[in-house]
Amino acid sequence: MRRVAFLVVGRVQGVGYRRFAQRSAEAVGVAGFVRNATGGSVVGEAEGEDDAVEAFLVALRRGPALATVLSVETTSLEATGAVGFAIR
């Protein structure tokens, strides 16, 4: 299991990015959460099998059609056994 905190920078608020992240996480079986942060970025945490988390991060870098993702930064965390993926 792998857990990461992520920070997505770019035009990612007001473009459906959090819902996109939730759908992407659910599609690959990743648990965690996503929320808007100050300064127009989006932050969250994702946990799952290594391949699933990597596929989720690839989706975050792509983003929905109206988003412009400039960067996705990650920090490794200890897995907690989280279940489900929430928009906060």
Amino acid at 5: A
Q: How far apart are CA 52 and CA 66, in angstroms?
A: 24
Local structure of residue 39 (DSSP, 8 states): G
Q: Catalytic positions, please? A: 18, 36
Closest Cα partner for 47 from 28, 71, 62?
28
Q: What is the DSSP letter of 37?
A: -
Q: In whole angstroms, what is the distance from residue 84 CA to residue 79 CA?
A: 14
